[in-house]
């Protein structure tokens, strides 16, 4: 029964789109948040039916907007057996005059997954040109063919203007692939990199994704380094979640990324940024941004006081003298 309850929570049967929340709230339920700012408004995108969307003027009070998709993209329904529109772990980036949204469609605990892509010239729902245009699949992972999982996309534009997409979870860890300048497809000839992996003590199957859990990459440039944030261990178990965020850095966007002790993330390295405490369990699946002269760290965290409800967690991020991120509770 416990597994059923937890799976129900994660798939959003009870929280799908988090529709039971008030229209405006200071304490939204959320999974896998990412953010962009247009004008004086922040827009939050998160896991949910059709990709959940919220807006805020102050990063405190959030208004629920319409989801990105009113119904599941037909191409994704056809590509992923069992997919019915619960779209996971989006990413948002402004590039070449468009907002680009990347999103995950997947079968739970399998690497039957695709990453899709949609664009909009504006994030303001009141703007006359507001319209999400779906461009379909970027990449797809297939069981028994791929030892990687096409979920949790994150896009970064390198210093030379080259777009890269990092992605992945469990299986063989976090991957990176070069995209075309319009972000519409994998660039040719294909260029792939392995960024982070953890040792596993046993194999993967559809019933148990195994140990060595790593997922949710997010890359941020700060100073001379690119910083790769990932989440270790287990999400989506409410108060029993032991999710945590670790980081490594590299002077090249494609790595190798190493932690504070010099251990490569490709060999299990990662310096702890934040983990659960007496107030929150399973702090993870983060994003990080430089906005309004400050650096921000956001993720979801399971509130102990609210019986493991997944709450939006936003904090200002500072840096040590030797250049490592610090996030306080």
Q: Over the stretch 90-129, which tens digit does the pLDDT of each residue have? A: 999 999 999 999 999 987 667 888 999 999 999 999 999 9
Q: Which domain holds residue 25?
A: 2-327
Number of domains observed in the structure of the chain = 1
- Name the pLDDT band for 201 (thresholds 50, 70, 90): low
User: What φ, ψ does residue 258 adopt, rounded to 5°?
Assistant: -125, 155
Q: Which pTM value belongs to this model?
A: 0.91
Q: Which of 91, 152, 215, 295 is catalytic?
A: 215
278 assigned to active site: no
Q: Which of 32, 233, 259, 275 is catalytic?
A: 32
What is the pLDDT, as a whole number, of residue 84? 76
Four-residue CA torsion sign, 237, 51, 81, 163: negative
Neighbours of 277 (CB within 10 A): 11
CA–CA dist 52, 258 (Å, integer): 34
CA–CA dist 168, 111 (Å, integer): 9
Tokens 């490592």 appear where? Answer: 324
- The answer to whether 175 and 164 are in contact (CB under 8 A) is no
32 assigned to active site: yes
Which secondary-structure segment (H or E) carries 10? helix 2-11
Distances from the Cα of 102 to the Cαs of 94, 139, 167, 296, in angstroms?
12, 11, 11, 21
What is the pLDDT, as a whole number, of residue 146? 79
Neighbours of 227 (CB within 10 A): 21
Copy the structure tokens of residue 17: 């789109």
Task: Give 246-298 pLDDT, tens digit per residue.
Answer: 999 999 999 999 999 999 999 999 999 999 999 999 999 999 999 999 999 99
β-strands 133-141, 113-120: how paired?
A: antiparallel
Q: What is the CATH number of the domain that holds 312?
A: 2.115.10.20
Task: Give 207-248 pLDDT, tens digit per residue.
Answer: 454 567 999 999 999 999 999 999 999 898 999 999 999 999
């Amino acid at each position: 029964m416990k597994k059923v309850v937890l799976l129900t929570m994660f798939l959003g049967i009870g929280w799908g789109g988090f529709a039971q929340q008030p229209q405006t709230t200071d304490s939204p339920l959320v999974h896998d948040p990412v953010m962009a700012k247009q004008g004086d408004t922040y827009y939050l995108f998160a896991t949910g039916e059709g990709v959940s969307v919220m807006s805020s003027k102050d990063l405190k009070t959030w208004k629920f907007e319409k989801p990105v998709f009113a119904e599941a993209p037909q191409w994704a329904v056809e590509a992923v057996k069992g997919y019915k529109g619960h779209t996971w772990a989006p990413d948002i980036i402004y590039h070449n005059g468009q907002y680009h949204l990347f999103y995950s469609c997947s079968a739970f605990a399998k690497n039957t997954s695709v990453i899709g892509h949609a664009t909009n010239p504006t994030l303001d729902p009141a703007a006359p040109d507001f319209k999400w245009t779906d461009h379909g699949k970027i990449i797809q992972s297939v069981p028994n063919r791929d030892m990687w999982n096409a979920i949790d996309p994150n896009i970064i534009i390198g210093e030379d203007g080259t777009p890269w997409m990092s992605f992945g979870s469990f299986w063989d860890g976090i991957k990176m692939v070069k995209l075309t300048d319009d972000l519409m497809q994998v660039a040719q000839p294909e260029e792939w990199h392995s960024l982070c992996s953890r040792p596993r003590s046993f194999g993967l199957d559809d019933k148990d994704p195994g140990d060595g859990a790593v997922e949710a990459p997010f890359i941020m440039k700060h100073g001379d380094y690119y910083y790769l944030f990932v989440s270790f261990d287990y999400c989506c178990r409410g108060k029993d979640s032991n999710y945590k965020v670790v980081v490594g850095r590299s002077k090249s966007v494609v790595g190798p990324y190493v932690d504070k002790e010099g251990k490569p993330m490709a060999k299990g390295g990662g310096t702890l940024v934040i983990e659960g405490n007496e107030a929150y369990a399973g702090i993870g699946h983060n994003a990080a941004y430089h906005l309004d002269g400050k650096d921000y760290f956001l993720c979801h965290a399971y509130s102990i006081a609210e019986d493991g409800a997944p709450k939006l967690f936003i904090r200002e991020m500072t840096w040590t003298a030797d250049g490592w991120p610090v996030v306080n509770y």
